[in-house]
Amino acid sequence: MRVGAEVRWFLSKWQPLRGREGELSGIQLIALDITDRKQAQEQERSLAEKLQQTQKLESLGVLAGGIAHDFNTLLSGILGNADLALLELPAGSPARQPLEQVLAGARRAADLTRQMLAYSGRGRFVIETVALPQVVREMGSLLEISISKKNVLRYEFGDGVPEVEVDVAQLRQVVMNLILNAAEAIGDRTGAIALRVGATDVTAADLADYVLGEHVAAGPFVYLEVADTGCGMTPEVRARIFEPFYSTKFAGRGLGLAAVLGIVRGHHGALRITSEPGRGTTFRVLLPAAARRAAAEGQRTAGPQGWTGTGTVLVVDDEETVLATSRRMLQRMGFEVLAAGGGRRGLELAREHGPGLRAVLLDLTMPDLDGEQVCAELRRAWPELPVVISSGYAEAEVMPRFAAHGRTGFVQKPYGFDTLAAAMRTALGEDVPAAG
């Protein structure tokens, strides 16, 4: 029943009133206002649906992260062996071109695993404090050529927008994926895309409408909003858009919006979608406003070519292909190499050759003893021995586990010759400063 502008629910019972002769003399109505009960039931149903959706996305994130890790391990053998083969071939060899194509394919596959790690929230982040409007402006030319000429791209930047602490490369991926998604929604028709950046204070009640909102504290945020005049989405489509490889296109593929969700999750943000069929779609991304300026992490670069390693390196990895490839790369760098196919065997070789070891290249995930357990044992015996951890997961996720283990480096799978050489140089204290 509508009472004024408000809808209220009643539980009613009707019964006739009769006189002495049985004639109908009236009707008795008993009504109980159950509006509060109905609202509580609706809120409970809504919360249950949000919890189910959150658990579904988290489960898919765990799956994507696990697949990406295993895929990175497999790619290590492909990328490493192709890299070695190129180094050993003369410049004019006809075999160089197909090998370069193998390398290019492996690197594209590695890019895909990085997107999967981003979706799972396990991507690599290099945090800087930046002004979001400036980042978007710098992408202007790239965004313009990425969409149809029938689409008009408008920029709307608020005043006094606080800085944010983000991985700029990942943030650019968010902007690009949202713009491409908007352009695809418009299709071949004439349309407009608005890209807005501004500041907002968000309450806990506001966050209830956001994906990942339950994991975010209320407070000051910077928002990035992409609104299009495209075809819009039904509730059924909207409920699935963050699933990996889900697409409404006939030949749809990829991790665009799934990667966006993972990147936003990794930056402790939230995301809201507003859409109706035929009325366009608006994506709003919230990023916490920076409370202080963060020190930017410098990217390490490999030193001059021709560097030669000396001494004995122990390689520990349960994947035979990775073990053999890493061994060959280290030998080409000039090291003598001991190889162990598991954590227990690695410790046995370390105890036999410990005083003569120059460094250890240690896989993180192994079935008998994992990298963390092996590293702890190595540290007890040789506190100053350089250890380089290798993993298909990102450094930001792995290395906090080794904070108490002293001199520990990292190299992410899949890695090529130059990347491994740079990691070994750094671990041995022979790295050179990155060129400025």
The two most distant CA atoms of the chain are separated, in Å, by: 116
Q: Are strands 281-288 and 219-228 parallel, antiparallel or unpaired?
A: antiparallel
Crossing angle of the two packed helices 320-333 and 35-88, in degrees rounded to 10: 50
Domain 312-427 in the same topology as domain 127-288? no
Domain boundaries, the chain: 2-37, 48-120, 127-288, 312-427
68: left (phi over 0), alpha (psi -120 to 50) or beta: alpha
Residue 268: which of 225, 209, 207, 196 has the closest Cα? Answer: 207
Domain 127-288 listed as CATH 3.30.565.10: yes
Distances 171 to 118, 125, 163 between C-alpha atoms, Å: 11, 10, 13
Distances 162 to 58, 201, 291 between C-alpha atoms, Å: 30, 12, 9
Residues contacting 321, CB < 8 A, separation 6+:
74, 76, 77
Place of tokens 């296109």: 249
In 10 A of CB 32, how many CB atoms?
10
Q: Tell me the backbone φ, ψ of residue 395, rounded to 5 degrees.
A: -60, -40
Global pTM value: 0.48
Q: What is the pLDDT of residue 65?
A: 61
Q: What is the pLDDT of residue 302?
A: 38
Q: For every one of its 436 residues, what pLDDT tens digit does the chain have, with 9 covering 90 and above?
A: 665 667 888 888 888 888 777 788 888 888 888 888 888 888 888 777 766 666 665 665 566 666 666 777 778 778 888 888 888 888 888 888 888 888 777 777 776 666 666 555 555 556 788 999 999 998 888 888 888 888 999 999 999 899 999 888 788 888 988 998 899 889 889 999 999 999 999 998 999 889 888 888 899 999 999 999 998 888 888 877 877 555 555 333 445 677 788 788 888 899 999 998 988 999 999 999 986 333 333 333 334 456 788 999 999 999 888 899 999 999 999 999 999 999 999 999 999 998 889 999 999 888 888 889 999 999 899 988 999 999 887 776 778 778 777 778 888 888 889 889 999 998 888 754 443 3
CATH for the 312-427 domain, from 3.40.50.2300, 3.30.390.50, 3.40.50.620, 3.20.20.70: 3.40.50.2300
Rounded to whole angstroms, how far apart are CA atoms 237 and 248? 8
Residue 313: which of 338, 293, 348, 294 has the closest Cα? Answer: 338
3-state secondary structure string, the chain?
A: CEECCEECCEEEEEEEEECCCCCEEEEEEEEEECHHHHHHHHHHHHHHHHHHHHHHHHHHHHHHHHHHHHHHHHHHHHHHHHHHHHHHCCCCCCCHHHHHHHHHHHHHHHHHHHHHHHHHCCCCCCEEEECHHHHHHHCHHHHHHHCCCCEEEEEEECCCCCCEEEEHHHHHHHHHHHHHHHHHHHCCCCEEEEEEEEEEEECHHHHCCCECHHHCCCEEEEEEEEEECCCCCCHHHHCCCCCCCCCCCCCCCCCHHHHHHHHHHHCCCEEEEEECCCCCEEEEEEEEECCCCCCCCCCCCCCCCCCCCCCEEEEECCCHHHHHHHHHHHHHHCCEEEEECCHHHHHHHHHHHHHHEEEEEEECCCCCCCHHHHHHHHHHHCCCCCEEEEECCCHHHHHHHHHHHCCEEEEECCCCHHHHHHHHHHHCCCCCCCCC
In 10 A of CB 285, how many CB atoms?
26
- Taking a C-beta distance cutoff of 8 angstroms, is the pair 83, 416 a contact? yes
Q: What is the pLDDT of residue 60?
A: 57
Residues contacting 371, CB < 8 A, separation 6+:
316, 343, 362, 363, 364, 365, 389, 391
